[in-house]
């Protein structure tokens, strides 16, 4: 009888995902994983450092469910000959959709309007604060990070008759959008800042008080990257003082715990980190992880290696 290769799941990812692996691999819960585990499936938000890798002496692959890999110590993995992969691009459309939804919710006060109707208070001048709000047409949209998700955000918002600019480490070859060589310069130009870059400890709080001030009192910021991308102290202060007009947030620094002073603000639209949570995106991410695992055990190049 042939022994199936062992694959450990750091967190439960559901029966549908496990069913795609169970015929070929032995699935092991991460908490009980020890010798013999050759592949570890995790998410970028979970810390996977050298000590964790050493606890799995036969480990050869770490594969992230999702595009983020900020919790993986890449240097430690390389030193141990462990390959790292992710499912980059698999959830890009879903995340971009939510980014646009959060922007519209923040700009047009969709949540406030919903509450007004549900409370039965749609009378007289009660809805007046929801009038004369800015629309999207003619707005300048600055995208921080023109990767798979940022590109799809730009494509969607271009259809709203907006002007698109972006900032990244270097200009993207073939892009038709305006490139800014500094985030502050783009924020000064933009009406909206869409945060879509790969956030990790090297660019923590990249969107700080200076950037938010540059965005200005009529500006909106949307974050579907990671909570660490924004200095939340600076964000709360800017929102309270109306130094920016509003925000749409799917990610938070201390998630799932969201600070009370942020939750209390009426110029923020918030969702619980569900950008990539559509049926289609979860299926695509599952397929990408399985493809990476299959390639690893077959001795073939990984479809989505993290370089």
Q: What per-residue string of b and e applies to 255-276 under the rule 16 or more CB within 10 Å gives b?
A: eeebeeebeeeeebbbbebebb
Burial (0-12, 13-18, 19+ Cβ within 10 Å), 242: exposed
Are the CB atoms for 125 and 66 separated by under 8 Å?
Answer: no
Among 139, 167, 198, 273, which one carries the catalytic annotation?
A: 273
Q: What is the rounded CA–CA span in Å between residue 242 and residue 217? A: 6
Is there a catalytic annotation at residue 273? yes
Residue 72 to residues 4, 40, 100: CA-CA distances in angstroms? 26, 12, 29
Residue 7 is inside which H or E element, if any?
strand 6-9
Among 70, 226, 232, 253, which one carries the catalytic annotation?
A: 226
Q: Write the DSSP assignment of 137-171 as a string of letters.
A: TT-EEEEE--SHHHHHHHHHHHTTT-EEEEE-SSP
The distance of Cα 23 from the centroid of its chain, to the nearest Å, equals: 32
Residue 298 is inside which H or E element, if any?
helix 279-298
Report the DSSP beta bridge partners of residue 135: none
Q: What is the rounded CA–CA span in Å between residue 240 and residue 288? A: 42
Q: Write the DSSP assignment of 252-296 as a string of letters.
A: -TTTTS--HHHHT-SSEEE--S-TT-SHHHHHHHHHHHHHHHHHH
Residue 266 sits at φ, ψ, to 5 deg, of -95, 0
Residue 134 is inside which H or E element, if any?
none
Is there a catalytic annotation at residue 163? no
What region does 206 belong to: left with phi over 0, alpha with psi -120 to 50, or beta?
A: alpha
Give the residue numbers annotated as catalytic, written as ranges. 226, 255, 273
């Amino acid at each position: 009888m042939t022994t199936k290769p062992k694959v450990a799941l750091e967190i439960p990812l559901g029966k549908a995902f496990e069913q795609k692996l169970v015929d070929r691999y032995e699935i092991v819960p991460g908490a009980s994983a020890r010798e013999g585990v050759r592949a570890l499936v995790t998410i970028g938000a979970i810390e996977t450092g050298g000590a964790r890798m050493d606890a799995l002496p036969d480990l050869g692959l770490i594969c992230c469910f999702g595009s983020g890999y900020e919790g993986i110590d890449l240097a430690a993995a390389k030193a141990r000959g462990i390959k790292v992969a992710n499912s980059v691009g698999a959830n890009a459309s879903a995340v971009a959709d939510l980014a646009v939804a959060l922007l519209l919710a923040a700009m047009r006060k969709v949540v406030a309007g919903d509450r007004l109707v549900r409370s039965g208070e749609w009378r007289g001048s009660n809805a007046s604060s929801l009038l004369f709000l800015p629309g999207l047409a003619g707005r300048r949209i600055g995208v921080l990070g023109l990767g798979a998700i940022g590109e799809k955000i730009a494509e969607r918002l271009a259809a709203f008759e907006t002007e698109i600019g972006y900032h990244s480490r270097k200009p993207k070859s073939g892009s038709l959008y305006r490139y800014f060589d500094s985030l502050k310069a783009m924020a000064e130009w933009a009406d909206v800042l869409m945060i879509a870059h790969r956030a990790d400890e090297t660019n923590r709080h990249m969107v700080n008080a200076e950037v938010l001030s540059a965005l200005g009192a009529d500006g909106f910021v949307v974050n579907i990257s990671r909570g660490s991308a924004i200095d939340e102290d600076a964000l709360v202060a800017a929102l309270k003082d109306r130094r920016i007009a509003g925000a749409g947030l799917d990610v938070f620094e201390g998630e799932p715990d969201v600070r009370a002073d942020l939750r209390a603000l009426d110029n923020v639209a918030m969702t619980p980190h569900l950008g990539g949570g559509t049926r289609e995106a979860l299926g695509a991410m599952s397929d990408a992880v399985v493809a990476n695992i299959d390639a690893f055990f077959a001795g073939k190049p990984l479809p989505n290696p993290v370089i």
